[in-house]
Amino acid sequence: MRSLLVILIMSVLTLSVQAQKTFIQCGQLIDVKQLQVLKEKTIIIEGNKIIDVVSGYTKGLATDKLIDLKTSTVMPGLMDMHVHLEHETSPNRYLEGFTQNEAEVAFGSLRFAELSLLSGFTSVRDLGGSGVNIAMRKAVQKGQIIGPRIYTAGKSIATTGGHADPTNNYRKDLMGDPGPKEGVINGPEDAYKAVRQRYKEGSDVIKITASGGVLSMAASGENPQFTEEEVKAIVAAAKDYGFKVAAHCHGVEAMRRAVVGGVSSIEHGTLMDESIFPLMKQYGTYLVPTIIAGKSAADSAKIPGYFPAMVAKKASEIGPKIQNTFGKAYKAGVKIAFGTDAGVYAHGKNWMEFKYMTEAGMPAIEAIQSATWNAADLMGTQAILGSIQKNKLADIIAVPGDPTKDIELMGKVNFVMKDGVVYKSK
């Protein structure tokens, strides 16, 4: 009698486990590794993992969950390699730095995080903020807020007066002399301390501002701001702690120093020329283009009073050049990972980068690959993310129709699953 009871209990437990499976029937499924659009596939999910991908439309037991996406194109969750979840462009941005407390920044960021996820971006790389981005990552991981999987740089690292020096253009009594703790370095020794501080605070990646920038209150948008030795020191320190290094960069000499110094990616790359293309290929450095940010900043600069005069001038000169540079880099064979600089434009419009990439000559399916397979490669997460394969995390999205034929469909995401949880469904 006892043996029979044990068998019954085991049967119930087995059925319970089986009931946890989800079957997603896909009209089309994009194989981002092989750049193929596959027909009539079913993805089988258990918990937060993909346990199989099979041909045809299959379904499990009556207790299993069935999701019908037979009229949609299914692909891995998108990954944006350059966002800023703590803020969003507005004519009051420069004043907000003096009027907002961290708690206000955090509450405002909740909407940005949710918009990103519901737009199909299940993972993002937050490349610089006040440290609220680290708290956001933890809150998402704990399920306290809705948002994408966040990999964050915490506070960006600059040199004195550089693009990410937090006291640029302040009056003297407020300017002070920020150091490695605040993300400002001068020399290799400082570089090590700044990286170690980011590790202490909980960053996932290191971001440096290798050249001047557009939106900072400093005169140059392109001058080199780190020595080659400083870059190499940052990369060496980062390697000790398992970090990759992303380098904001507009100017050619700054780019050369960053690539030779060993960074994993060049962000923006606006003034990149024929001397940099072979160098990036030699070192295996990714370009994260952020075309939409350049266009948005240039558009905002046309609005009187939107930016301070110094910023408006740089935005007008630098912003419009990114798309053309991207096209040349792509044709030269430079590796491309998708990134948008969300926050410089309104969050939730990340998908428009796909449109601008295809306008510059990249086929739609390769643009999608840049936001999945390539992005996961850049982040070092291909083992768990970036494609729909057995044993990977169930980050899956869908759009109506075929985005490889109409890229604007990337702006009409109708299904979002992250970590096996459905956040949006048609």
pLDDT at position 229: 98
pLDDT digits (tens, 9 = 90+) for 136-176: 999 999 999 999 999 999 999 999 988 888 888 788 888 88
Q: Of 135, 179, 127, whose CA–CA distance to 155 is shortest?
A: 127
Specify if 393 maps to a domain. yes
* Three-class DSSP category at 295: helix
**CATH number of the domain residue 409 falls in:** 2.30.40.10
Q: Which residues of the chain have pLDDT under 70?
A: 1-19
Q: Of 12, 167, 172, 197, whose CA–CA distance to 98 is shortest?
A: 167
pLDDT at position 174: 83
DSSP 95-107: HHHHH--HHHHHH
Provide the strand spans (E) within 32-153. Answer: 36-46, 49-55, 65-76, 78-83, 121-126, 149-152
H/E run at residue 336:
strand 335-336
Residues 408 and 268 in one domain: no
Residues 48 and 175 in one domain: no
Residues 65 and 119 in one domain: no
The residue whose two tokens read 């030699």 is 282
Residues 82 and 140 in one domain: yes
**CATH number of the domain residue 264 falls in:** 3.20.20.140
pLDDT digits (tens, 9 = 90+) for 332-347: 999 999 999 999 999 9
Residues 147 and 187 in one domain: yes
pLDDT at position 18: 53
Residues 6+ apart with CB under 8 A from 127: 82, 83, 84, 152, 153, 156, 205, 207, 246, 248, 267
* Residue 343 zone, left/alpha/beta (φ > 0; ψ -120 to 50; rest): left
Specify if 3 maps to a domain. no
Compute CA 357 distance to the chain's CA centroid, rounded to the nearest angstrom: 16
Yes or no: say if 224 and 213 are a contact pair by the CB < 8 Å rule.
Answer: no
Residues 226 and 328 in one domain: yes
pLDDT digits (tens, 9 = 90+) for 104-113: 888 889 999 9
Quickly count: other Cβ atoms within 10 Å of residue 240's Cβ.
11
Q: How many domains, in total, are found in the chain?
A: 2
pLDDT at position 7: 44
pLDDT at position 311: 87
Residues 194 and 249 in one domain: yes
Residues 273 and 153 in one domain: yes
User: pLDDT above 70 covers what percent of the chain?
Assistant: 96
Residues 204 and 116 in one domain: yes
Specify if 10 maps to a domain. no
Residues 160 and 31 in one domain: no
Domain residues for 229? 78-379
